């Protein structure tokens, strides 16, 4: 369920600008930042790069963009 939240004009403008470059809406960019921030706060030992790569890997799996790997026996 969508909720309305009051945000500063500066944050919204920044999100729209960055979102445009990243092919996201302003709201989508804020959601992305919130998701990354939540993961980082819950896992302070993880780097941004690790978090980003983990989310990308999960998206690739969810969209069927990976092949099973079979180890030699």
Number of domains into which the chain is organized: 1
Residue range(s) defining the domain that contains residue 53: 11-62
Average pLDDT over residues 28-38: 98
46 domain-assigned: yes
69 domain-assigned: no
Distance CA 30, CA 39 (A): 14
56 domain-assigned: yes
- Per the prediction, the chain carries an average pLDDT of 96
1 domain-assigned: no
Task: Transcribe 40-56 into DSSP letters.
Answer: HHH-TTS-HHHHHHHHH
- Structure tokens that stand for 40 in this block: 């980082």
Average pLDDT over residues 12-36: 97
What pLDDT is stored for residue 33 in this prediction?
A: 98
Average pLDDT over residues 1-28: 96
Average pLDDT over residues 37-63: 97
Q: In the structure, what pLDDT confidence band is assigned to residue 12 with cuts at 50, 70 and 90?
A: very high
Q: pTM surpassing 0.75? A: yes
């Amino acid at each position: 369920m969508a909720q309305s939240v009051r945000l500063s004009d500066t944050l919204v403008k920044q999100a729209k600008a960055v979102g445009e470059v990243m092919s996201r809406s302003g709201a989508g960019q804020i959601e992305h930042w919130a998701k990354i921030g939540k993961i980082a706060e819950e896992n302070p030992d993880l780097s941004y790069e690790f978090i980003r790569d983990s989310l990308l890997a999960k998206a690739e799996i969810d969209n069927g963009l990976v092949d099973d790997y079979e180890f030699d026996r």
